Amino acid sequence: MTNIILFGPPGSGKGTQAKFLAEKFGLLHISTGDLFRYEIGNNTPLGLEAKSYIEKGALVPDSVTIGMLKNKLDANTDVKGVIFDGFPRTIAQAEALDQLLGASEAEVNGIISLEVAEEEIVQRLLLRGKDSGRADDQDETIIRNRISVYHKETAPVFNFYDTKGKGIKIDGMGDIEAIANRLETAVKAL
């Protein structure tokens, strides 16, 4: 089983590229955003718990997110592997993911970071905001804050895995196909 974390700041193209990699290699694509929408939309116990935190403007505890991941993995035991998109976002989540996978004698095989210049990210997100109508992608101040939070809170996750020899950095600049080709090469190396 090959388990890969696709990593990078908001607007780096993780979602687009995760879908490509999932199709190319027959991996299960797990997006935490999709997980939340599914669990909340289906009023599952974990979805209701997550919704109660979200409605208060609080962060959903890691235990709830990990529970959702466990449910998804338990429902898909026959997959060749998983590409995690948007998770883990903190060292605590990375440790919890390692424990979850370890319980079934699996592990994270690699973390692939899409490296994109900040100005490019800002432009990509502003464009996405125009196309999607997402308010958080239409305000440059909010975008730059999200990037700052990523560097402070999420970027250390790459180092967590890199110190274990599992980190790969990929140039995330250029067209979608060129980036996909670089990612395909990296995944084959895993």
Phi, psi angles (nearest 5°) of residue 156: -60, -20
Q: Which of 51, 70, 144, 146 is catalytic?
A: 146
Give the CA distances from residue 149 to residues 30, 45, 80, 90, 156, in Å, rounded to whole numbers and listed in that order. 22, 30, 33, 11, 11
Q: Which of 51, 70, 72, 89 is catalytic?
A: 89
**Helix (H) or strand (E) run with residue 154 in it:** none
Q: How far apart are CA 3 and CA 55, in angstroms?
A: 32
The pLDDT tens digits of the residues spanning 100-140 come to: 999 999 999 999 999 999 999 999 999 988 888 877 788 89
Q: Which of 72, 128, 144, 169 is catalytic?
A: 128
Q: Which of 24, 80, 130, 134 is catalytic?
A: 134
- As its CATH architecture, domain 2-185 has 3-Layer(aba) Sandwich (3.40)
Question: Over the range 82-94, which residues count as b (16 or more CB within 10 Å of their CB) and which as e?
Answer: bbbbbbbbeeebb
For a pLDDT cut of 90, what percent of the chain falls above it? 77
Compute the C-alpha angle 115/160/89, nearest 5°: 65
Q: Decide if pLDDT at 6 tops 90.
A: yes
Q: How far apart are CA 121 and CA 143, in angstroms?
A: 9
Active site residue 51: no
Q: Decide if pLDDT at 142 tops 80.
A: yes
Specify the higher pLDDT residue, 178 or 146.
178
Q: How far apart are CA 69 and CA 51, in angstroms?
A: 16
pLDDT at 185: 95
136's tokens: 């958080």
Active site residue 152: no
Q: Which amino acid is at 56?
A: K
Q: How far apart are CA 19 and CA 54, in angstroms?
A: 27
Active site residue 124: no
pLDDT at 137: 83
pLDDT band at 49 (very low <50, low <70, confident <90, very high): very high
Q: Decide if pLDDT at 146 tops 80.
A: yes
Active site residue 182: no
pLDDT at 182: 96
Strands 81-85 and 110-115: unpaired
The pLDDT tens digits of the residues spanning 52-98 come to: 988 887 778 999 999 999 999 999 999 999 999 989 999 999 999 99
